[in-house]
Structure 1
């Protein structure tokens, strides 16, 4: 993971973008979970978190109601989300781009303007050694609310593992 140089003497926050297919299910879940973890640890100002989609189907829409409901059942607020599409021009401003399946990772790497940018793309489950062999977080879109809850559980676990890797550097100010 790369770091940008400080601007005006102040370190820039570490910038993470979670990217799924439509930006209404998985990526908003991860965005909300990571933001909550960072805020609870007192590191919310040291990390900038966003989410986006590889496609444009849902741009401007709220998160899927089943996503918002699953987040609420787990104690999170996903009601403020608005879907957006990831664009190649987003790469330079980001330190880490997290995809939820190998298809999305391939799309993102193909959009990357450089090898440095391609290296920023990682799969979410890579951050949890016990989940890494699964590679892909299932897309719950065509499923029932219980599947959204199960997917959120996977996302919480892998996002917590990601945060455990980021937190020491964030605490030291190596943002």
Structure 2
């Protein structure tokens, strides 16, 4: 971004060029932080840093437990979509209270794909009852550490984005992002669930 400003000041890039760059960053990565985190985790992923959490196979009858931060956007959509594909699934959040509804945009997105989040209520991981054979599916690599600190290390944990057609280790939280990125993110969540349930 600083480069774009510097080039604009020197006359090499018109102001609309910076606007185009902003739209690309916010529409594709959610925010500048989202871009930096995506790039960082992608590099670690490409060098094998997350191989133990990549595309783990779920055995027949194994419950999929989707986890994100607030349990209102990413994980509840993954849960209802996995159930629609015939899998036993649940979801919870690392940093949420209990009993709150899904995000309004998540409900709208789900409904546009024939799914319903109308009855969803948030559950914090500390209040969720895990089974020893659950496959835990998180959206971000840092959530692996957070989950293990709050719940324990005796669970199989996978990164949701690694099940996408073009695997990625990081699916950014869309909660405070624009509508374009929100839709992009939720599509990635659905793609990851399809890859997992195929």
Shared fold (TM-score greater than 0.5)? Answer: yes
Secondary structure in structure 1 of the residue aligned to 2:85: helix
Instruction: Tell me the matched-pair count.
Output: 142
Cα separation, partners in 2 of 1:82 and 1:146, compared to 1, 3 Å: same
Match of 2:161 in 1: 125
Match of 2:75 in 1: 27
**Structure 1: 5+ residue stretches without partners:** 4-11, 39-46, 165-175
TM-score normalized with structure 2 length? 0.64
Secondary structure in structure 1 of the residue aligned to 2:146: helix
Structure showing greater Rg: 2
Distance 1:28 1:87 in 2: 17
- Given the alignment of the two structures, is residue 51 of structure 1 paired with residue 91 of structure 2, yes or no? yes
TM-align CA RMSD = 2.3
Following TM superposition, the consecutive aligned residue runs of length 4 or more in structure 1 with deviations greater than 3 angstroms are 88-94, 111-114
8 Å Cα contact 1:88/1:111 also seen in 2 = no
Distance 1:33 1:89 in 2: 20
CA offsets 1:41-68 (integer angstroms, 9 cap, x no match): xxxxxx4211000013x42100010110
Match of 1:81 in 2: 120
Match of 2:183 in 1: 149
Distance 1:87 1:112 in 2: 7
Match of 2:64 in 1: 16
